[in-house]
Structure 1
Amino acid sequence: MSRRLLAAALALLAITGCAATSNAHTRPPSARTAHATASTPAGPTARPNFVFLLTDDLDSAETSVMPNLKSLITDQGTTLSDYNVSVSWCCPSRSTTLRGQYAHNTTVWSNTAPNGGFGRFYGKGLEDSTIATWLKGAGYRTGLFGKYLNGYPEQAPVGKKYIPPGWTTWDVPASGSPYRQFNYTLNDNGKLESHGHKASDYLTDVLNLKARKFISAPSPKPFFAYLGVYNPHAPATPAPRHAKLFKGVKAPRTPSYNEKDLTGKPTEVRRLPPVSKAEAKTWDSLYRNRLRSLQSVDDMIGDLVNTLKQSGRLDNTYFVFTSDNGFHIGQHRMPPGKNTAYVEDTRVPFVVRGPGVPAGRTVDKLAGNVDVAPTIADLAGVKSPGFVDGRSLAPLMRPGTPKTWRQVFLLEHGHGPGTQPPLKPPKNGVLEPPELLSPSTRESFYLAPYEGLDTGRYFYVEYSTKERELYDLATDPNEMHNLAADRSPPIQALIAKFSARVRALRKCAGKTCVAAEDAP
């Protein structure tokens, strides 16, 4: 056999090998968890494909440095401008995305066990019914490339080789430093694959290649490709080819950056000192690296769209781009991070292109990560289980607007001291770096647990400390003037209305969530 024929044969084996996964390291489904059911599709080629690209800690404004995202997804699809994450923290948000449930129903409140992380998700049997199991049960190829849940694979029965139910292809970091993009080990379909510090080991590029092999594999089955990139999470390591971009760029000095007057803010925010010059310098450096690290994600978007086009699958593929939570740098004097109900952390990008999706359109209806799983299921012709709290966003992805839609979106957060991720890797887990990369007076900053609402115009939050915040985004988009202390009858009536809605939503489940959200 010639070298050229041998290379071609090996390439074909690599591609087809990605499409098949051994079940030797998976856990059988639990009988105690509800599952989705598939409706009868028109045929194997009629069902759409899905590429779901989930970034890590992306602020909406940072998408401005991603030209491929704009030209290939945004300009060709629909943007949901009022898209929220219910919990602005990694693992709770990702759990909601996989299940279509609010955190008060997943009970995943943080990144680490016992009240969060992979250990909580696994221990509660939540893996047995996710968007992956629903689609696999309907005949889809399902692949996850990149970040799964914080703490994976700690507490898994077979350690680093564990593959959750529902995934036919699995390329997920199981140890090392994937947040730093180098020196990590992948669980590649049950086989451990070590990567070092060469340019070719850069994680986002490795995931890019593996995902493209998956979506271009010669299979009659439709596919669901879930790409969980670590960019631009701290330390936001860029690919070597992008390391010198954005010199001199500083974190945006929005009106709320290093806010002078913190009157009306929660106690923990009011305690924050002004941002020092040294802190601002460190945060600006982090911001530049965040922008640099996003360039490999933008390259990924271009490569994926090109692969879809070359394989003849682009016109029948929904491509979704979003983030697990937003990010703030210096707003209200807060250190770089998330975990708040402020708009920088809860409203994230959501753009979709695909069959029948209007191009270049923006829709301002309330939506969120609780809707991702039921939306994909709906578009795939799969009925979501009854436990799902969210709804299909398909009506927002078609011309026109629905006659009725949700009036509020629930925001919730249950974390407190001692729930930040460990700085040392667990025995079978992944090292998670801190948000702050240098000493700071703000390292212990956190807000009290809260529940709140986004109504599109207003942000309303109730803290466990009995403090409240109310902002009118129409007149105060930077959330600098808390209206909660306003004793005027109109404002107090709003607060009473919103507080009642929070009470209705805090324990909602399934259809009762939809009813509580839609009430006038």
Structure 2
Amino acid sequence: MNKFYPVAGMVALSAVTTACQQADKQEKKQYNIVYIMTDDHTAQMMSCYDTRYMETPNLDRIANEGVRFTNSFVANSLSGPSRACMITGKHSCGNKFYDNTTCVFDSAQQTFPKLLQKAGYQTAIIGKWHLESLPSGFDYWQIVPGQGDYYNPNFITQQNDTIQKHGYITNIITDDAIDWMEHKRDDKKPFCLFIHHKAIHRNWMADTCNLALYEDKTFPLPDNFFDDYEGREAAAAQEMSIVKDMDMIYDLKMLRPDKNSRLKTLYESFLGRMDSAQRAAWEKFYGPIIEDFYKKNPQGKDLANWKFQRYMRDYMKTVKSLDDNVGRVLDYLKEKGLLENTLVVYTSDQGFYMGEHGWFDKRFMYEESMRTPLIMRLPAGFTRRGDITEMVQNIDYGPTFLDLAGVEIPSDMHGVSLLPLLKGEHPKDWRKALYYHFYEYPAEHMVKRHYGVRTDRYKLIHFYNDIDTWELYDLQADPHEMHNLYGQKEYEAVVDELKAEMLKLQEQYDDPVRFSPERDKE
């Protein structure tokens, strides 16, 4: 039997149908992803994590308008390997990029940008790649060779040309990222944009406009700055001491014709990239500091403190430019109406030592370098705000972005999606332990190879290869990891439990370098 609908009823039905279709379309709308990553930026130098040193108002905007992960870690605290873990969602044993000195990233392997491409996303990376091979899985890319240069840097283009751009690298990368969003992308498609900075990598060369900043600040030495490494053989063997290993010319800019250092020639090559105005500004600032330093000729603890103060100031100046440029990206997204449909992520490839244990650099499984900042500004529809305390790792980024895009997460990825946490959920089966493995030895800074496991309270580390030592820390009682508890009878049960957990994770991730319980009993 035919049904008769009054005109008013048909109009109402049509309106309901249209509203449902619009709601369905909105529900299926794919979010954009802007993934900003820096090099060697540690949580201690972000005011949304730590207010002792400097203010980072634009980074704080991301945290204040979204979420801050308070237990965010990496799987291998070294630039190239960390990036490989991030882009594949796998530990180093799974992606085969173990270190910066012997490896080339296999670009043919599965990565999350490739999977996003298949789902209709535009993908782009601008800035630091640092995986030796050329990028794949990106519709657009423009990368710096290796570490890149702070001043007038070279870029490798998709045409495999190397071009030089004039200016300061953090500004240039941001300029190019905004230009891609404004002029080069298809605005009818969702996008995933990597804005990957050279900053704040050694040797911390600030933009000329920021050179005079923070010179009035004096920083207290960390309590363990003069650590004697008692009971920690691997820590004693490193070569990343501010006192002993920080180069007076390369790191601290104390260049004078009659002075030499191991890295002097490299520093001079950096200065040689500057134009006359940049070089004049540089020498105007550092000239008086150089003259004063060699006149006073500090020694002993006075020299140690002087080096620490210069390191802190130069690092902070480099962060300042980064923070300003993050603000530019946020302002652009807001101005173009993109902010509410975009997940904005800020993180670093690992943490860094700001004088803790007397060090600079990273590599160790200790907290300052295993930890990495992670903040996210969430798109509309995600109401979670504040701190997320669950333990997360950089192998989780790929699964998270895929999950957000509605793409199936491959079963061979080691990481897990953080989307439930972004929705305010607290899964009862969330991981209780993290696995870590560092491989690059012998190499710069001479940090021994090691693997380990971290829980919410304890950390167990095994240093191996040319050494065979274990370290155990109670992070609750000893957050600065000064007292190695391994071998103490009262912790035997804890060690046994951690070794079992570590072996389980090594088997889960199919790491060929594993702890052997049988050998341990010998």
Asked whether the two chains share a fold, i.e. TM above 0.5, the reply is yes
Distance in 1, matches of 2:230 and 2:222, equals: 18
Rounded to whole Å, the distance in 2 between the matches of 1:100 and 1:48 is: 20
Cα deviation, 1:278-335, whole Å, max 9, x if unaligned, reads 344234322211111111211121111111111111001001111101111432233x
- Aligned partners of 2:73 and 2:238: how far apart in 1? 27
Among candidates 101, 111, 115, match of residue 134 of structure 1: 115
Could you tell me which amino acid in structure 1 is paired with residue 428 of structure 2? K
Spell out the pairing of 1:101-140 with structure 2 (5 A cutoff).
Answer: 101-113=90-102, 116=103, 119=104, 121-122=105-106, 126-140=107-121
SS of the residue 2:236 aligns to: helix
Distance (whole Å) between structure 1 residues aligned to residue 87 and residue 497 of structure 2: 31
Contact in 2 for aligned 1:414/1:450 (Cα 8 Å): yes
Match of 1:483 in 2: 485
Change (3 A) 1:231 1:483: same
Instruction: Give deviations 1:133-173, integer Å, cap 9, x for gaps.
Output: 111111111110111124x35xxxxxxxxx53211111211
Give the CA deviation at 1:74: 0.6
Amino acid at match of 2:432: Q
CA shift in 2, pair 1:267/1:101, >3 Å = closer
> For residue 506 of structure 2, what is the aligned residue in structure 1?
506
Match of 2:307 among 282, 286, 293: 282
Structure 1 residue corresponding to 2:221, chosen from 239, 253, 256: 253
- Whether the aligned pair in 2 keeps the contact of 1:250 and 1:285 (CA below 8 Å) is no
Question: For 1:184-212, what per-residue CA distance to the aligned partner results, in whole angstroms no more than 9, with x for missing partners?
Answer: 2212332636336x5xx111111111111
| Structure whose CA Rg is larger | 2
* Match status 1:468 vs 2:435: no
* Counterpart amino acid of residue 109 in structure 1: Y
Q: Distance in 1 between matches of 2:424 and 2:505?
A: 30
- CA positional deviation for 1:274: 9.8
RMSD: 2.4
Native 8 Å contact 2:384 2:423 kept in 1: no
Once the two structures are superposed, residues 336-390 of structure 1 have per-residue CA deviations (whole angstroms, 9 ceiling, x without a partner) of 1111011000011011111244464111111010101111111011112222000
Q: Which residue does 1:426 correspond to in 2?
A: none
CA contact (8 A) 1:387 1:509 kept: no
- Asked if the contact 2:156/2:163 (under 8 Å) is kept, the reply is no
State the match for 2:20 in structure 1: none
Query: What SS is found at the alignment partner of 1:211?
Result: helix
Q: Which runs of 5+ in 2 are unaligned?
A: 1-23, 48-53, 244-299, 511-522
Contact conserved, 1:75 with 1:359, CA < 8 A, in 2? no
Equivalent pairs: percent with the same residue?
Answer: 26
Secondary structure of 1:53's match? Answer: strand
Q: Give distance in 1, aligned partners of 2:74 and 2:230.
A: 27
1:231 to 195, 199, 206: 199
1:409 positional shift: 0.5
Moved more, 209-218 or 460-469: 209-218
Give matches, 1:373-452, under 5 Å.
373-417=398-442, 419-420=443-444, 445-452=445-452
Shift of 1:127: 4.1
1:167 is the counterpart of 2:138: yes
* Alpha-carbon distance between aligned partners in 2 of 1:103 and 1:271, rounded to the nearest angstrom: 22
Is the Cα contact below 8 Å between 1:265 and 1:469 reproduced in 2?
A: yes
Distance in structure 2 (CA, Å) of the matches to 1:353 and 1:343: 25
Deviations 1:34-71 (A, max 9, x none): xxxxxxx9579810000111110111110123533344
Alignment of 1:137-156 (within 5 A): 137-150=118-131, 152-153=132-133
The aligned length equals 418
Q: Quote the Cα distance in structure 2 between the aligned partners of 1:68 and 1:349.
A: 15
1:78-127: per-residue Cα shift (whole Å, max 9, x none)?
111111001111111000000000011122111122xx2xx2x13xxx44
**Alpha-carbon separation, structure 1, partners of 2:242 and 2:195:** 38
The answer to whether structure 1 residue 184 and structure 2 residue 153 are counterparts is yes
C-alpha distance in structure 2 between counterparts of 1:406 and 1:77, whole Å:
23
Name which of structure 1's ranges 491-500 and 283-292 shifts more when overlaid on structure 2.
283-292
Identify the residue that residue 289 of structure 2 maps to in structure 1.
none
Pick one of 345, 357, 374 that aligns with 1:350.
374
Counterpart in 2 of 1:58? 41
- 1 CA distance for matches of 2:440 and 2:500? 23
- Give the AA of the match of 1:74: A
TM-score by length of 2: 0.75
- Aligned residues of 2:31 and 2:343 also touching (Cα < 8 A): yes
Tell me how far apart the structure 1 counterparts of residues 361 and 309 of structure 2 sit (CA, whole Å): 14
